[in-house]
Structure 1
Amino acid sequence: MSAEFETDLKDLAAKLAQVESVMDLEALRAQVADLEQQAADPSLWDNPESAQKVTSQLSYRQAELRKVTELRQRVDDLGVLHELAKAESDAGSLAEADTELAELTRDIDALEVRTLLSGEYDARNAVVTIRSEAGGVDAADWAEMLLRMYLRWAERHGYPTDVYDISYAEEAGIRSATFRVVAPYVYGTLSVEQGTHRLVRISPFDNQGRRQTSFAHVEVMPEVEETDHIDIPEKDIRVDVYRSSGPGGQSVNTTDSAVRLTHVPTGVVVSCQNEKSQLQNKVAAMKVLQAKLLQRKKEEERAELDALRDGGSSWGNQMRSYVLHPYQMVKDVRTEFEVGNPSAVLEGEIDGFLDAGIRWRKQRGDNAA
């Protein structure tokens, strides 16, 4: 067992060294130093938007550097702990070393997955839209369950979210919802969630207790930045304003502050009703519209590549099944990663699916998503 432990620890140290090489620690330290210098400039907050970007990047880069430095220290310390425990035949310390090895393996694997995010937009915030599809009221309820799942996932990681718009269904659930997740590399992480999610369960809306299959579609877009050059002429946009409302038509605002934007050339429609003023809702809706048009542009470029490859992309097709009856299982149909505890998954424990999806995409060389 001792030889096996030492081999596993050696392999883990080698994997961490590979991760450190990909992350380029010297360049990371230089970035931190440069951002610290910018953050110390008294004139930085003359431009609050730029200042927030600098401080956010600094916080993230510092955390990345701290994370990999602490992992290296833990690997070194674990070697020492195991040697001492072995020399003294200390069963308690040997068990502690085994536990730490398992935790280190998990933490280094997670950091390794992060290094696989090298797509053009992977480092950005994510704008996510969920739509109910086939399945009637069950599908609307399913779409709301997915919305909660992703918001819980973001909450678990401490990622801020902004819900831009929710369109409630008449009986239960939602027709659609759009929200933003704010964190470095969250678009690259969540982009593997794009596609159709299928739920099989005993319908709570069927008085005969029959099994129902329902579907919801998840669309994941990178947040648009100034460098994207997504210019939308005013003449191409139709603006409609209306009164915000919640479930059951309850008024949540006494003014026509909700905004719906229609991009006339493409027919793309977005809306926002979560902000307090019409102007704020229009700004938020414009961000979502730009993100959708950027996504459309990416999909057109990807379609051209797929045509050259003589094969279509599987993105957008059914990608995961959540079965609550007659057995309990959540399975990704692309990666074959599965979990036998749907309740935990629906509470936001989806990191295993995200990691498997990112590795699967990397193996396919499909970083266009």
Structure 2
Amino acid sequence: MAVDFPVEIKNLRTTMGTVREVSDLDALRAQITDLEAQSAAPDLWDDPDKAQQVTSTLSRAKAELDRVENMDSRIEDLETLVEMGQEEDDAETLAEAEKELEAVKKAVGELEVRTLLSGEFDQREAVITIRAGAGGVDAADFAEMLMRMYLRWAERHGYPTKVMDTSYAEEAGLKSATFEVNVPYAYGNLAVEAGTHRLVRISPFDNQGRRQTSFAAVEVVPLIETTDAIEIPENELKIDVFRSSGPGGQSVNTTDSAVRMTHIPTGTVVSMQNEKSQIQNRAAALRVMQSRLLLLKKQEEDAQKKELAGDIKASWGDQMRSYVLHPYQMVKDLRTEHEVGKTDAVFDGDIDDFMEAGVRWKRAQEREKD
């Protein structure tokens, strides 16, 4: 079926009109002007942490503005390409235009999804924790595969990440891992990844080559900011210190620098061992603890009935996405019904389509409740 270029281009322009309206480009330009003034201050680097924050925020704001503004010219270029192909009846040019149309539609769709991220914490950076569930060594291996998948996703987009804690399983894989994705809207995008993930494959750890089903739980919480940090009384925290360890129990640290922090009233536990000192690990653990308690407080205020991310069972009957490697290849989200057959690409971080479908699904669920 021939592509109806005029209709497709009209739809793109309509969507971009909505994107510009919601994005509030005037406010974004004002923010850039303010950040440029701050970055030009002669004493900026007297405070390296603040300077880094100003320069990185400025870079991201400029990139965000460019993405929106450049899309308009890209649509105009597409229209010109279509006109050239049609005037000269050039099939090769029209084929190129069709290919570009698909690329532009994908890019505009990504911008549109950003406009759907209007939740209270959606603009925040994110803290992701992955825990091995039912399935023994296969589950631990699956947890490590998921961690790599998310880190590769971030790497593909140029998003900075920071691994905060890794607890290795005895034979292979991870018992749990916690890491940050330090980019605006990381929480809004990644929140839809929270839940139980299920893997079906021929187990590489079974000498009889039997099929194994295993589970891993993904928790996503927004990274707190200094303005909303929750004060936690010291008597509500239990702090344990221990020696950091690498795979198989191999010592990677000769001092008791790792920290396990427990919030006694809620039973929330955070472990940190990837910083160089006990003081740094304690500060990192406190920040993640505050992030989790902030989300808990928000959920209680909203009287939400659903289970908290940390209460995910990671077992049968609780899964939100299946990764099947045998007897066929498929990754399917059980909420959105989005599925693909290229499992290797997914585990290599190609999960944008799943996140986009998840954000749209989540927004539709919220509209139904309103």
TM above 0.5 = yes
Given that 2:165 and 2:271 are in contact with CA atoms closer than 8 Å, whether structure 1 keeps it comes out as yes
**TM-superposed deviation, 1:366:** 7.1
| Counterpart contact for 1:117–1:188, Cα < 8 Å | yes
- Once the two structures are overlaid, the 10-residue window that deviates more, 88-97 or 66-75, is 88-97
Q: Which range moves more in the overlay, 159-168 or 26-35?
A: 26-35
- Aligned residue in 1 for 2:241: 241
Question: Cα distance, 1:335 vs. partner?
Answer: 0.5
Aligned-partner Cα distance in 2 for 1:294–1:171: 35
Q: Distance in 1 between matches of 2:134 and 2:308?
A: 19
What residue number does 2:31 align with?
Answer: 31
Q: Contact between 1:110 and 1:355, CA under 8 Å: does it hold in 2? A: yes
CA-to-aligned-CA distance 1:332-358 (integer Å, 9 cap, x gap): 111000011111111111111000000
Task: Give the C-alpha shift of residue 324 in structure 1.
Answer: 0.9
Following the alignment from structure 2 to structure 1, what is the Cα–Cα distance between the partners of residues 299 and 141?
29
Question: What runs of 5+ residues in structure 2 fail to find an aligned partner?
Answer: 313-317
Normalised to the residue count of structure 2, the TM-score between the two structures is: 0.92
Find the aligned partners of 2:261 and 2:26 in 1 and give their Cα distance. 46
Displacement, 1:285?
Answer: 1.2
Within a 5 Å distance, the mapping from 1:247-286 to structure 2 comes to: 247-286=247-286
Mapping of residues 209-224 of structure 1, within 5 Å: 209-224=209-224
Q: For residue 321 of structure 1, what is the amino acid of its counterpart?
A: S
Contact (CA 8 Å) 2:129, 2:176: kept in 1 or not?
A: yes
Contact residue 361 and residue 367 of structure 1 kept, 8 A: no
Aligned counterparts of 2:136 and 2:367: Cα–Cα separation in 1: 34
- Superposed CA deviations along residues 143-197 of structure 1, whole A, max 9, x for unmatched, are 1111111111111111111111111111111111111111110011100000000
Counterpart of 2:53, as a letter, is: K
1:365 alignment partner, SS class: helix
CA–CA distance in structure 1, aligned partners of residues 11 and 262 of structure 2: 55
Which residue does 1:7 correspond to in 2? 7
- 1:67 aligned onto 2:67: yes
Rounded Cα–Cα distance in structure 2 between residues aligned with 1:366 and 1:129: 28
- Aligned equivalents of 1:264 and 1:216: distance in 2? 25
Paired position in structure 1 for 2:164: 164
Contact 2:124 2:186 (C-alpha < 8 Å) held by counterparts: yes
Q: Is the 8 A contact 1:240 1:259 kept in 2?
A: yes
Q: What is the Cα deviation at residue 92 of structure 1?
A: 2.7
Residue of structure 2 equivalent to 1:119: 119
Give SS of 2:214's match.
strand
Report the alpha carbon displacement of residue 213 of structure 1 after superposing the two structures with TM: 0.9
Which deviates the most, 358-367 or 168-177? 358-367
Cα distance in 1 for residues equivalent to 2:298 and 2:216: 22
4+ residue segments displaced more than 4 Å: 312-316
- The aligned runs of 1:1-369 (5 Å cut-off) are 4-302=4-302, 304-306=303-305, 312=306, 316=312, 317-365=318-366
2: CA distance, partners of 1:196 / 1:246:
26
Q: TM-score, normalization: structure 1?
A: 0.93
Q: C-alpha separation between the residues in 2 aligned to 1:173 and 1:299?
A: 32
Alignment CA distance shift 1:168-1:26 (3 Å)? same
Are the aligned partners of 1:261 and 1:285 in contact in 2 as well (CA < 8 Å)?
yes
Stretches of structure 1 lacking an aligned partner (at least 5 in a row): 307-311
Given residue 352 of structure 1, which amino acid in structure 2 is its aligned partner?
D
CA distance in 2, matches of 1:305, 1:130: 23
What whole-Å deviation, never above 9, does each CA across 1:18-46 have from its counterpart, x for those lacking one? 21111122222222222212222223334
Q: Using the alignment, how far apart are the partners of 1:249 and 1:314 within structure 2?
A: 31
User: Taking structure 1 as reference, are residues 291 and 225 closer, same or farther at Cα in structure 2, changes over 3 Å only?
Assistant: same
Q: Note if contact 2:3-2:98 (Cα within 8 Å) is conserved in structure 1.
A: no
Q: 1:3 to 1:210 in 2, by over 3 A?
A: closer
What's the CA shift string for 1:195-232, capped at 9, x where partnerless? Answer: 00011111112222211111110000101111214001
Q: d(CA) in 2 for partners of 1:129 and 1:79?
A: 45
Identity across matched positions, percent: 61
Q: CA deviation at 1:94?
A: 2.1
